[in-house]
Copies of this chain bind each other. A is one copy, B any other.
Amino acid sequence: MAGKLYGVGLGPGDPDLMTRKAHRLIASAKVVAYPTLAGADSFARSIAADAIPATAREIVMDVPMTTDRAPAQAAYDQGAVEIAMALDDGQDVVCLCEGDPFFYGSFMYLFARLSQRYEVEVVPGVTSITTCAARAGLPLAARNERLTVLPGPLPEKELRTRIEGAESVAIMKVGRHLSKIRGVIDALGFTDQAVYVERASLPDEVVCPLVNAPEKAPYFSMILLTKGADPWL
Protein backbone atom coordinates (compact mmCIF):
# COMPACT_ATOMS: atom_id res chain seq x y z
CA MET A 1 0.00 0.00 0.00
CA ALA A 2 1.35 3.42 -0.96
CA GLY A 3 2.22 5.98 1.69
CA LYS A 4 0.37 9.25 2.26
CA LEU A 5 1.69 12.65 1.31
CA TYR A 6 1.24 15.50 3.78
CA GLY A 7 1.61 19.12 2.76
CA VAL A 8 2.17 20.82 6.07
CA GLY A 9 1.95 24.57 6.65
CA LEU A 10 4.52 25.74 9.19
CA GLY A 11 3.24 29.26 9.78
CA PRO A 12 5.17 32.51 9.40
CA GLY A 13 8.45 31.64 11.10
CA ASP A 14 8.10 31.39 14.88
CA PRO A 15 8.05 27.61 15.52
CA ASP A 16 5.51 28.28 18.28
CA LEU A 17 3.03 29.39 15.59
CA MET A 18 3.10 25.93 14.04
CA THR A 19 -0.17 24.07 14.57
CA ARG A 20 -0.21 21.13 16.95
CA LYS A 21 -1.06 18.89 14.00
CA ALA A 22 1.93 20.08 11.97
CA HIS A 23 4.24 19.55 14.91
CA ARG A 24 2.96 16.05 15.58
CA LEU A 25 3.23 15.01 11.93
CA ILE A 26 6.79 16.31 11.66
CA ALA A 27 7.88 14.83 14.98
CA SER A 28 6.77 11.36 13.86
CA ALA A 29 7.98 11.64 10.25
CA LYS A 30 10.26 9.05 8.68
CA VAL A 31 10.65 11.11 5.49
CA VAL A 32 10.48 14.90 5.21
CA ALA A 33 10.79 16.96 2.02
CA TYR A 34 11.34 20.66 1.51
CA PRO A 35 12.61 23.18 -1.01
CA THR A 36 15.69 25.32 -0.69
CA LEU A 37 16.00 28.46 -2.80
CA ALA A 38 19.13 28.72 -4.88
CA GLY A 39 21.21 26.61 -2.52
CA ALA A 40 20.52 28.79 0.54
CA ASP A 41 19.39 27.30 3.85
CA SER A 42 15.75 26.21 3.74
CA PHE A 43 13.51 28.63 5.64
CA ALA A 44 10.88 25.89 5.94
CA ARG A 45 13.39 23.49 7.45
CA SER A 46 14.61 26.10 9.92
CA ILE A 47 11.06 26.60 11.26
CA ALA A 48 10.58 22.86 11.75
CA ALA A 49 14.16 22.07 12.81
CA ASP A 50 13.51 21.26 16.47
CA ALA A 51 10.70 18.85 15.55
CA ILE A 52 12.43 16.86 12.78
CA PRO A 53 13.64 13.50 14.12
CA ALA A 54 17.38 12.95 13.73
CA THR A 55 16.58 9.64 12.03
CA ALA A 56 14.29 11.15 9.38
CA ARG A 57 15.36 10.98 5.75
CA GLU A 58 15.35 14.41 4.10
CA ILE A 59 14.44 14.99 0.45
CA VAL A 60 15.75 18.40 -0.58
CA MET A 61 14.54 20.22 -3.69
CA ASP A 62 17.02 22.88 -4.72
CA VAL A 63 14.90 25.43 -6.59
CA PRO A 64 16.88 27.98 -8.61
CA MET A 65 15.74 31.62 -8.44
CA THR A 66 15.34 32.60 -12.08
CA THR A 67 12.66 34.36 -14.09
CA ASP A 68 12.82 31.40 -16.47
CA ARG A 69 10.39 28.76 -15.23
CA ALA A 70 12.03 25.67 -16.67
CA PRO A 71 14.80 25.11 -14.09
CA ALA A 72 12.36 25.48 -11.18
CA GLN A 73 9.91 23.13 -12.86
CA ALA A 74 12.71 20.60 -13.27
CA ALA A 75 13.54 20.85 -9.55
CA TYR A 76 9.92 20.09 -8.59
CA ASP A 77 9.72 17.35 -11.21
CA GLN A 78 12.77 15.72 -9.69
CA GLY A 79 11.46 16.22 -6.13
CA ALA A 80 8.14 14.65 -7.12
CA VAL A 81 9.97 11.60 -8.49
CA GLU A 82 11.90 11.12 -5.24
CA ILE A 83 8.78 11.62 -3.12
CA ALA A 84 6.82 9.19 -5.30
CA MET A 85 9.50 6.54 -4.77
CA ALA A 86 9.15 6.87 -0.98
CA LEU A 87 5.33 6.76 -1.26
CA ASP A 88 5.53 3.68 -3.48
CA ASP A 89 7.70 2.10 -0.78
CA GLY A 90 4.78 2.55 1.61
CA GLN A 91 6.36 5.46 3.50
CA ASP A 92 4.44 8.60 4.42
CA VAL A 93 6.16 11.82 3.34
CA VAL A 94 5.79 15.11 5.21
CA CYS A 95 6.40 18.13 2.97
CA LEU A 96 7.39 21.26 4.86
CA CYS A 97 5.98 24.55 3.64
CA GLU A 98 6.42 27.98 5.24
CA GLY A 99 3.13 29.77 5.86
CA ASP A 100 0.18 27.90 4.35
CA PRO A 101 0.61 25.31 1.55
CA PHE A 102 -2.15 26.73 -0.68
CA PHE A 103 -1.52 30.43 -0.05
CA TYR A 104 1.46 31.23 -2.26
CA GLY A 105 3.05 28.05 -0.91
CA SER A 106 5.57 25.88 -2.71
CA PHE A 107 3.63 22.71 -1.88
CA MET A 108 1.06 23.40 -4.58
CA TYR A 109 3.65 22.49 -7.21
CA LEU A 110 4.06 19.05 -5.65
CA PHE A 111 0.30 18.76 -5.16
CA ALA A 112 -0.22 19.35 -8.88
CA ARG A 113 2.30 16.65 -9.70
CA LEU A 114 1.25 13.99 -7.19
CA SER A 115 -2.36 14.40 -6.05
CA GLN A 116 -3.83 12.40 -8.93
CA ARG A 117 -1.82 9.33 -8.00
CA TYR A 118 -1.47 9.43 -4.21
CA GLU A 119 -3.51 10.22 -1.13
CA VAL A 120 -2.65 13.77 -0.10
CA GLU A 121 -3.62 15.73 3.00
CA VAL A 122 -3.00 19.45 3.19
CA VAL A 123 -2.60 20.87 6.70
CA PRO A 124 -3.27 24.61 6.69
CA GLY A 125 -0.94 26.99 8.50
CA VAL A 126 -0.95 30.51 9.89
CA THR A 127 -0.35 32.92 7.01
CA SER A 128 1.99 35.90 6.97
CA ILE A 129 -0.90 38.32 6.38
CA THR A 130 -2.65 37.73 9.67
CA THR A 131 0.70 37.50 11.45
CA CYS A 132 1.77 40.89 10.08
CA ALA A 133 -1.58 42.35 11.14
CA ALA A 134 -1.19 40.89 14.64
CA ARG A 135 2.35 42.19 15.02
CA ALA A 136 1.39 45.63 13.69
CA GLY A 137 -1.72 45.85 15.89
CA LEU A 138 -3.85 46.46 12.80
CA PRO A 139 -7.14 44.62 12.30
CA LEU A 140 -7.32 43.47 8.68
CA ALA A 141 -11.04 43.22 8.08
CA ALA A 142 -14.20 43.37 10.18
CA ARG A 143 -17.86 42.67 9.43
CA ASN A 144 -18.55 43.39 5.74
CA GLU A 145 -15.14 44.79 4.83
CA ARG A 146 -13.27 43.41 1.86
CA LEU A 147 -9.65 42.29 1.86
CA THR A 148 -7.45 42.27 -1.22
CA VAL A 149 -4.17 40.37 -1.33
CA LEU A 150 -1.75 41.60 -3.99
CA PRO A 151 1.71 40.26 -4.85
CA GLY A 152 4.31 43.03 -5.00
CA PRO A 153 5.74 41.93 -8.38
CA LEU A 154 2.53 43.00 -10.17
CA PRO A 155 3.01 45.82 -12.70
CA GLU A 156 2.80 49.36 -11.31
CA LYS A 157 -0.38 50.19 -13.20
CA GLU A 158 -2.22 47.12 -12.00
CA LEU A 159 -1.13 47.68 -8.41
CA ARG A 160 -2.47 51.22 -8.64
CA THR A 161 -5.86 50.16 -10.01
CA ARG A 162 -6.26 47.34 -7.51
CA ILE A 163 -5.28 49.41 -4.48
CA GLU A 164 -7.54 52.25 -5.57
CA GLY A 165 -10.65 50.06 -5.64
CA ALA A 166 -9.88 48.18 -2.43
CA GLU A 167 -10.56 48.51 1.26
CA SER A 168 -7.96 46.63 3.28
CA VAL A 169 -4.93 45.61 1.24
CA ALA A 170 -2.05 43.26 2.01
CA ILE A 171 0.85 43.49 -0.43
CA MET A 172 2.97 40.33 -0.27
CA LYS A 173 6.51 39.60 -1.47
CA VAL A 174 7.58 43.24 -1.34
CA GLY A 175 11.33 42.58 -1.60
CA ARG A 176 12.97 44.34 -4.53
CA HIS A 177 9.63 45.88 -5.55
CA LEU A 178 9.57 48.18 -2.51
CA SER A 179 10.32 51.46 -4.27
CA LYS A 180 7.76 50.78 -7.02
CA ILE A 181 5.06 49.97 -4.45
CA ARG A 182 6.00 52.99 -2.37
CA GLY A 183 5.59 55.18 -5.42
CA VAL A 184 2.10 53.81 -6.08
CA ILE A 185 0.98 54.27 -2.47
CA ASP A 186 2.44 57.80 -2.36
CA ALA A 187 0.69 58.76 -5.59
CA LEU A 188 -2.62 57.51 -4.18
CA GLY A 189 -2.10 59.51 -0.98
CA PHE A 190 -2.28 56.42 1.28
CA THR A 191 1.23 56.56 2.75
CA ASP A 192 0.00 57.67 6.17
CA GLN A 193 -2.06 54.48 6.49
CA ALA A 194 0.64 52.14 5.24
CA VAL A 195 2.63 49.89 7.55
CA TYR A 196 5.73 47.91 6.60
CA VAL A 197 6.42 44.52 8.20
CA GLU A 198 9.49 42.38 7.65
CA ARG A 199 10.03 38.80 8.88
CA ALA A 200 6.94 38.86 11.10
CA SER A 201 7.17 36.72 14.26
CA LEU A 202 10.92 36.13 13.90
CA PRO A 203 13.50 37.57 16.33
CA ASP A 204 14.70 40.12 13.75
CA GLU A 205 11.17 41.26 12.83
CA VAL A 206 10.69 44.88 11.70
CA VAL A 207 7.35 46.73 12.04
CA CYS A 208 7.20 50.40 11.13
CA PRO A 209 5.28 53.04 9.19
CA LEU A 210 6.01 52.71 5.47
CA VAL A 211 7.81 56.07 5.46
CA ASN A 212 10.41 54.56 7.81
CA ALA A 213 10.88 51.33 5.85
CA PRO A 214 14.48 50.43 5.00
CA GLU A 215 15.78 51.03 1.47
CA LYS A 216 16.18 47.29 0.90
CA ALA A 217 13.39 44.88 1.78
CA PRO A 218 13.82 41.09 2.03
CA TYR A 219 11.51 38.75 0.10
CA PHE A 220 9.53 38.04 3.27
CA SER A 221 8.20 41.54 3.75
CA MET A 222 4.73 43.00 3.45
CA ILE A 223 2.87 46.28 3.33
CA LEU A 224 -0.54 46.57 4.98
CA LEU A 225 -3.05 49.24 4.05
CA THR A 226 -6.12 49.16 6.21
CA LYS A 227 -7.98 52.31 5.31
CA GLY A 228 -11.33 50.58 5.76
CA ALA A 229 -11.01 49.03 9.18
CA ASP A 230 -13.54 50.26 11.73
CA PRO A 231 -13.14 47.95 14.69
CA TRP A 232 -15.57 49.80 16.94
CA LEU A 233 -18.35 47.38 16.02
Indicate if A109 sits at the interface (CB-CB under 8 A).
Answer: yes
Closest 5 CB pairs of A and B: A122-B134, A108-B139, A147-B149, A112-B231, A16-B21
Contact partners of A12 in chain B: CB under 8 A: 124
**Chain B binder among A68-76, A82-90, A180-188, A203-211:** A68-76
Chain A contact residues, CB within 8 Å of chain B: 9, 11-12, 14-21, 23-24, 69, 72-73, 76, 100-105, 108-109, 111-112, 115, 120, 122-127, 129-131, 133-135, 137-151, 153-154, 162, 165, 229, 231-233
With A144-B154, A148-B148, A151-B146 known to touch, is A17 a contact of B19 (CB < 8 Å)? yes
B102→A140 contact, CB < 8 A? yes
Partner of A104, one of B135, B143, B165: B143
Contact partners of A144 in chain B: CB under 8 A: 151, 153-154
B231→A109 contact, CB < 8 A? yes
User: Which one of A19, A76, A104, A131 has the greatest number of beta carbons of chain B within 10 Å?
Assistant: A19
Closest to A74 in B: B233
Subset of 20 A-B contacts with CB under 8 Å? A9-B126, A11-B19, A16-B21, A17-B19, A18-B20, A73-B232, A100-B134, A101-B134, A103-B147, A104-B141, A108-B229, A109-B233, A120-B137, A122-B135, A124-B131, A127-B127, A146-B150, A147-B148, A147-B149, A148-B149
